[in-house]
Amino acid sequence: MVKSKHLVVYAMLIYIIFFLANAFFPRAVLVSYMAVTVIFIFILSCKNIRKYNGLISLALFSIGVYLLFRRGASLEQWSMALIDNKSLISLILSVPFLGIPLYYDQYQEDILEISMQNIKSPYSFYLVTSAVIISLGMFLNMAALPLVNQLMKKTSESYDDELFNKALTRGFSLNLLWSPNFISVATALNYLTLSWLEILPIGLLLALLEGVLLLAIEWRLIQTKYRMVSDIGADIFNTKNNKESNSAERKKYFKLMGLIFYFMLFINVLEKITGRSVITIMPLAAILAPFLLALFTKKLQVFKDKFKYYLFEVLPEKANEFILFTSIGFFGYALRICDINYYLTSILSQMGNFPQFFLILLLILIIVLPSLIGFHPIITIATISAASPLKILPLSEIALGGVYLVGYTVYSLLSPFSAVNLVVSNLSSKTPLQVSLKINTVFGLLFIILSSCLIKLF
């Protein structure tokens, strides 16, 4: 069993190496090598894939195989279909390494300490928890959810479970709108010709909009009676409210901001130097950025230990996502080269006659609604993209990118099948419906309407 798990890890690393090699030195033989690697990973992982992922993947592959046979696809086209989502998959496999620098110093403890000193009511608890999940989520992605749950567990006992789950799900979703190490942004870039810097402004504006909504929708809590919890923070950290402690807090805050700035700058510089898109260079950045920071801060041993841990404990768990996203790419590629694409184009052409606001709203709902019954948004986005929507719809490419970002974000909030809600459900011992539709339906619908108004401006 261990040997099989290690083989999967090595195969995934080879996949990333082939991906980067082909990105910088395109060769037809590298495409073939990647396709063979995909098949090898499938063989090693198929027994351990989760039932839901397995059924969806099987259905998508079956339809894709039928369409490719019907089209009389060449061997090269079969290979291209197998690696169509190579950028997204390489991101999924490499992004966990971005969390390594959090262990170079007491970043997690600093975040919690700063946060605890600002919790004085249900509303401040909601805001602080949202801020913590946003901060850690930038680096740890999905792994931030169980970590924040653990860090805030004692404090959360003083408040309603529903409030805690709202903060976790809504706070996490903000990063989906702009952060380059999130699959939502990678998906938008994968199906558009925009760079990350080009899509960043609308992503940040949408995140700001969602942040304002996050603040406003629970404003009523400020009027409610609450239990003070500052004494809990004092018990844990024994902090003193004096100039010296305030100065120490500022240093911790700037240290955290410095780490975030370092990653954003590193990604931007690497993108400029290589001339490749952020979705292409992210696997390289995810390993190089922590390594160079470890050299500078003399934390190489920490880097080695955590790299080994992520390699053999975290990476094998990504096999499920590997198979699912490969099947989605396979299906999307088959749609693009087959005559069924004509029917999709006809449907979108009819939608082009709608007023722009309603067109944007409808496109977002087309992504969100199927996801409520388990249809992954990337499947819908791939299907929409297969019909070349920019040629037939009165939308700019940036606006379409905004539609993809909002659709994916609302999916993460409302779908009982989203990874975010499944994790939060498991952590809180609630059902997926209780941590998704029950607490976020109004929030999600309001965000769809407001974001449609914002996207219309682009």
Tokens, residue 10:
């090595």
Query: What's the pLDDT score for residue 406?
Result: 96
Which stretch of DSSP H or E encloses residue 253? helix 243-274
171 in Cβ contact with 379 (< 8 Å): no
- Give the type of residue at 292: L
Mean pLDDT of 125-130: 88
**Rounded distance between C-alpha atoms, residue 24 and residue 275, angstroms:** 10
**Rounded distance between C-alpha atoms, residue 418 and residue 119, angstroms:** 29
Tokens, residue 205:
């504006």
Nearby residues of 338 by Cβ (< 8 Å), 6 or more positions away: 67, 68, 70, 71
- Token pair 């609308």 is found at 202
The answer to whether the pTM exceeds 0.85 is no
Query: What's the pLDDT score for residue 399?
Result: 94
pLDDT grade, residue 237 (50/70/90)?
Answer: very low
Mean pLDDT of 149-165: 81
Tens-place pLDDT, residues 351-409:
777 888 999 999 999 999 988 876 778 888 888 887 767 777 888 999 999 999 999 99
Nearby residues of 136 by Cβ (< 8 Å), 6 or more positions away: 102, 108, 111, 144, 147, 148
